Amino acid sequence: MTDSDPRPDPLPVATGPYPPTCESLETPVSEETQRAQAERLRRAWATPRGWRYPTAVNNTEVGKWYSTTALIFMLMAGVMALLIRAQLAVPENDLISADRFNQLFTMHGSAMMFLFAVPMFEAISILILPGMLGARDMPFPRLSAFGYWCFLIGGIFVIGSLAFDSAPRAGWFMYPPLATQDPGPGSDIWLLGLSFIEIASIAAAVELIVGTLKCRPPGMRVNLMPLYAWYVLVVGGMILFAFPPLIAGDFLFELERSFDWPFFDPTRGGDPMLWQHLFWIFGHPEVYIIFLPSVAIAAMVIPTVARRPIVGYSWIVLSAVGTGFLSFGLWVHHMFTTGLPSISLGFFSAASEAVVIPTGIQLFAFLATLMAGRVRLNLPMLWIAGALAIFIMGGLTGVMLALAPFDFQAHDTYFVVAHLHYTLFGGMVFPVMAGVYYFFPFIRKRMLSEVLGRWAFWLIFIGFNLTFLPMHLTGLRGMPRRVYTYPDDLGWSTLNLVSSAGSVVIAAGFAVFVWDLFRPKGGQPRIARNPWQAGTLEWTHDVPEQAWGVRSIPHVTTRYPLWDQPEMVARMDQGRYYLPDAQEGRRETLITSVIDAEPIQVQRVTGPTWITHLAAAFTGGAFILPTFSLYTPAIISGALAVCTIIWWLWTATARPPAPEDTRKDVGLGLNLPTYASGPASTGWWAMWITMLGDATAFASVIFGVFFYWTARPDFPPEGALHADAVLVALSCGALLLSWALTLFARRSNRRGAVTGARICLGTGAVLGSLGIAAMLGAVTALEPTTHVYPAILCALAVWIIVHAGLGTIMQLYCLAGSIFGKLTPRYDADLWNISLFWHFHALSVAVAGAVMILVPGVA
């Protein structure tokens, strides 16, 4: 390579020996060096103190806040349940008004689902996953912090509405027309507040998936990953395919609520069934999104208590993946009584029964491990045993309900309430409690009380069965869900009283647990490291606590490294493995390849900041202000959110390293680059994963078009105005050209033709704006309030316009990056990432354009 050659040098690549040899690991490190290294690491990873504490972004802090907040929301939802049970304890009760009762059961379900179950999975994973993977932190610490602050703001907003007597009250699944026509802001609070939280959930899912794929320790190939990491991958993937249909549904629903576009109004061609489909395409997988991570906790606890490797590792992995897939084929079993053709019901009934097989395999693998091992019935195991018992009961009633004729009878009765609480308590609450007892020494370096733990277990276990076992009978005797009160002579009175008494016992159990969790533990002796003698990496944690994650990142060659690689912990402590030092005083973690976890990059991760709070507050404003029809402030808030996020990305992500800093010696002779772009980088994977979710949401809107087309004879209505085909074609042409220019810009930039790349990006942005204008022009003549046909065309146009706007901003961002030296021919991660966005956008432009132009012809 000569100086006159315009092409940039190739990016530095990894050099040096890999994997480490025994001799290299035995090379002694002097105690003085060890101390100095540890001191530098400690300084780089120090948690901010005092009033700066909330700026922390480290996974240990964010994870603690996240899980504590989710726990508090859960306790609030529990109090709502107690009020519901108090109202139903005796017949003809008038403790609370019917309207208040509706708000309570709606918020109980919504809060338990959206503010507890899913966030709790993500909180626990943020907290413990880096430990399991021997990573210092997740790849995007600020993203998890941003997700947490969004969750906190959204959660307080949604739950706070109860205090103002304006909470949603149409049931947690918000069926139209009840919910669409409900006066007051309740339904909007549900839609906007929870959409906001779903976005935080997707952010966390992206973080967790990329963390699992790219931040594993060297040597941890896919066949060695801890089972928990496998479940995180499966569940993260499910979130990406399950949440977007609901977001698409919320999008249509809110357009109906705010602007009277009649998507679910049958008098103007809409159909409430579309909401049910979109809701349950989310809602059923959601159950497994909650269940699988909890099973994952069991999969970590069981080998430890059985003191042997898990039986049937591949079987469990594949059952988790299989459950993830099959759970998407079940949504209609929530809609058995909506009058669908019986063959259709048959498909969903069959798929509902089929999902039992992979679920059963996981449970049997656990039982086999327990039988093959030497079990110590410690506290975590007690909770797991309770979970298995309760979940199996819930599974049996699930098999009953999956049979359509039985479901016709039990539909919307307390039988269903009993079934769902059995699956959720057995499948989620009990395993999570096991996880709290099991992981508490890892998180807080203290033990929870054995005595209080047993009290909590038995109170909750007995209270639970006392509450929900009678509900099967109450339901079979015909008591419908969601009734506010009932007369005395129907044979429900005693059963309800027993249930209400049981709920108080559960509450007592939780009170014991919460006291145990938060009581001062300063006087307790410090725990030993690895108190359960477990075999996985998180138990190499330092006692007392260090914020650096691991002292040095080990080379892993087995599934249970602490059992099978006995010399590992000492070597980690002495800093003999990778990245034992922070010479530059920066936070770093090792990025490895997806399949074999070979080290490929040192990633500088971001540190404490206030920017995430600002971004979350403005994003929150964009979602919360429209609830009160404050559209102008909402738009301003949204624009400020975009500016804040651009500033955040500009200052903190993919900055080209200084010339002397392009590679780094990570120890054991291995030398790694500090920058990566394209598929080698974490940012590219995050974009790819986010776009999968985005594409799913778009597909759901397209599904809406075809749904109306099959379900409604008047779609499109006779003589309807169509989108202007010429302008649609023009818009698509401009946007597709803009996509091509983006790709061209990336290639020219790589070749060193910087000016050409800048021209492409600038022209691309102009074409993007033209595409937006043409799309606007194509639908301006339509009147979306008159019928669902113009409404869905306009919704498609809104979708394309918003994404084209984002794409244009991205092109301008890269253009600015190229001009101000953030993006160079050699350091071009931003261009790779926006190309990926444009690939997906080009696809949706083509599909949307085809639908808008072709539907009038074929219908």
Partner 1 sequence: MTEEHQPRPDEEEAEFAEESASLWRITLAPVAWAAHFVICYGLVAMSCAKGWPITEVRQGLGLFSAAVLLLIAWIGWRALRQWDVRRTGDFVNRRGRAEDRHHFLGHAAFLLAVISFIGVVFVSLPLILIEGCQ
Does 593 bind partner 1 (CB under 8 A)? Our answer is yes
* CB closer to partner 1, 25 vs 642: 25
Q: What are the tokens at 87? A: 């109202």
Min. distance of Cβ 312 from partner 1 in angstroms? 8
Question: b/e map of 643-664 (b: 16 or more CB within 10 Å)?
Answer: ebbeebbbebbbbbeeeeebbb
Residue 174's region, left for phi above 0, alpha for psi from -120 to 50, else beta, is left
Question: b/e map of 733-771 (b: 16 or more CB within 10 Å)?
Answer: bbbbbbbebbbbbbebbbeebbeebbbbbebbbebbebb
Cα(313)–Cα(644) distance, integer angstroms: 45
Stretches 119-127, 131-139, 553-561, 848-856: which one binds partner 1 (CB under 8 A)?
553-561
Does 54 bind partner 1 (CB under 8 A)? Our answer is no
Does 344 bind partner 1 (CB under 8 A)? Our answer is yes
Does 642 bind partner 1 (CB under 8 A)? Our answer is no
* CB closer to partner 1, 46 vs 354: 354
In the 8-state DSSP scheme, what is residue 654?
S
Does 341 bind partner 1 (CB under 8 A)? Our answer is yes
Cα(124)–Cα(60) distance, integer angstroms: 10
Does 211 bind partner 1 (CB under 8 A)? Our answer is no
Binders of partner 1 in range 650-679 (CB under 8 A)? 670, 679
Min. distance of Cβ 357 from partner 1 in angstroms? 6
For every residue of 434-483, DSSP letters joined together read HHHHHHHHHHHSSPPPHHHHHHHHHHHHHHHHHHHHHHHHHHHTTPBTT-
Does 16 bind partner 1 (CB under 8 A)? Our answer is yes
Min. distance of Cβ 343 from partner 1 in angstroms? 5
Binders of partner 1 in range 293-332 (CB under 8 A)? 309, 313-315, 317-319, 321-322, 325-326, 328-329
Does 351 bind partner 1 (CB under 8 A)? Our answer is yes
* CB closer to partner 1, 357 vs 396: 357
Total site size for partner 1, rule CB under 8 A? 59
Q: What are the tokens at 585? A: 């005083």
Stretches 10-18, 255-263, 755-763, 805-813: which one binds partner 1 (CB under 8 A)?
10-18
Min. distance of Cβ 131 from partner 1 in angstroms? 20
Stretches 80-88, 334-342, 627-635, 719-727: which one binds partner 1 (CB under 8 A)?
334-342
Does 24 bind partner 1 (CB under 8 A)? Our answer is no
Min. distance of Cβ 223 from partner 1 in angstroms? 4
Cα(451)–Cα(379) distance, integer angstroms: 9
Cα(534)–Cα(303) distance, integer angstroms: 8
Query: 110, 173 in Cβ contact below 8 A?
Result: no
> Distances in Å between the alpha carbon of 760 and those of 135, 738, 743?
39, 8, 9
Query: Tokens 């999968």 label which residue?
Result: 692
Binders of partner 1 in range 745-764 (CB under 8 A)? none
Does 399 bind partner 1 (CB under 8 A)? Our answer is no
Stretches 168-176, 557-565, 693-701, 823-831: which one binds partner 1 (CB under 8 A)?
557-565
Does 222 bind partner 1 (CB under 8 A)? Our answer is yes
Omega into 358 within 30° of 0, i.e. cis? Answer: no
Contacts of 264 (CB under 8 A, 6+ apart): 176, 177, 180, 252, 253, 256, 270, 271, 272, 274, 275
* CB closer to partner 1, 467 vs 835: 835
Beta carbons within 10 angstroms of residue 857's beta carbon: 8
Contact string 600-639 vs partner 1 (x = CB under 8 A): x---------------------------------------
Does 458 bind partner 1 (CB under 8 A)? Our answer is no
CA angle 80, 82, 83 (to 5 degrees): 65
Contact string 161-200 vs partner 1 (x = CB under 8 A): ----------------------------------------
The torsion angle over the Cα atoms of residues 823, 824, 825 and 827, rounded to 10 degrees, is: -70
Q: What Rg, from alpha-carbon coordinates, does the chain have? A: 28
Omega into 544 within 30° of 0, i.e. cis? Answer: yes
Taking each helix axis from N to C terminus, what angle separates 754-779 and 725-751, rounded to the nearest 10 degrees?
Answer: 170
For every residue of 721-761, DSSP letters joined together read ----HHHHHHHHHHHHHHHHHHHHHHHHHHHT-HHHHHHHH
Stretches 284-292, 419-427, 551-559, 715-723: which one binds partner 1 (CB under 8 A)?
551-559
Does 224 bind partner 1 (CB under 8 A)? Our answer is yes
Does 219 bind partner 1 (CB under 8 A)? Our answer is yes
603 has which bridge partners?
589
Stretches 60-68, 146-154, 261-269, 591-599: which one binds partner 1 (CB under 8 A)?
591-599
Contacts of 251 (CB under 8 A, 6+ apart): 195, 697, 701, 795
Cα(261)–Cα(795) distance, integer angstroms: 9
* Residue selected from 542, 598, 665, 714 as contacting partner 1 according to rule CB under 8 A: 598
Query: Tokens 């395919």 label which residue?
Result: 241
Stretches 246-254, 288-296, 339-347, 370-378: which one binds partner 1 (CB under 8 A)?
339-347
Contact string 701-740 vs partner 1 (x = CB under 8 A): ---------xx-----------------------------
Q: Burial level of 577, CB count in 10 A (0-12/13-18/19+)?
A: buried
Handedness of CA 358, 360, 363, 365 (dihedral sign): negative
Query: 510, 75 in Cβ contact below 8 A?
Result: yes
* CB closer to partner 1, 357 vs 781: 357
Does 357 bind partner 1 (CB under 8 A)? Our answer is yes
Stretches 108-116, 341-349, 364-372, 534-542: which one binds partner 1 (CB under 8 A)?
341-349
* Residue selected from 245, 358, 395, 693 as contacting partner 1 according to rule CB under 8 A: 358
Phi, psi of 552 (to 5 degrees): -145, 150
Min. distance of Cβ 552 from partner 1 in angstroms? 18
Min. distance of Cβ 718 from partner 1 in angstroms? 17
Stretches 27-35, 348-356, 406-414, 809-817: which one binds partner 1 (CB under 8 A)?
348-356
Does 13 bind partner 1 (CB under 8 A)? Our answer is yes
Cα(152)–Cα(158) distance, integer angstroms: 10
* Residue selected from 368, 594, 617, 766 as contacting partner 1 according to rule CB under 8 A: 594
Residue 678's region, left for phi above 0, alpha for psi from -120 to 50, else beta, is left
Handedness of CA 838, 844, 848, 850 (dihedral sign): positive
Does 340 bind partner 1 (CB under 8 A)? Our answer is yes
* Residue selected from 285, 535, 599, 771 as contacting partner 1 according to rule CB under 8 A: 599
* Residue selected from 556, 579, 616, 649 as contacting partner 1 according to rule CB under 8 A: 556
* CB closer to partner 1, 345 vs 741: 345
Stretches 424-432, 570-578, 592-600, 851-859: which one binds partner 1 (CB under 8 A)?
592-600
Does 680 bind partner 1 (CB under 8 A)? Our answer is yes
* Residue selected from 9, 15, 337, 583 as contacting partner 1 according to rule CB under 8 A: 15
Single out the residue of 250, 331, 313, 210 nearest to residue 591, CA to CA: 210
Does 700 bind partner 1 (CB under 8 A)? Our answer is no
* CB closer to partner 1, 146 vs 243: 243
Chain residues binding partner 1 by CB under 8 A are: 13-19, 21-22, 219-224, 309, 313-315, 317-319, 321-322, 325-326, 328-329, 340-347, 349-351, 353-354, 357-358, 556-559, 593-596, 598-600, 670, 679-680, 710-711
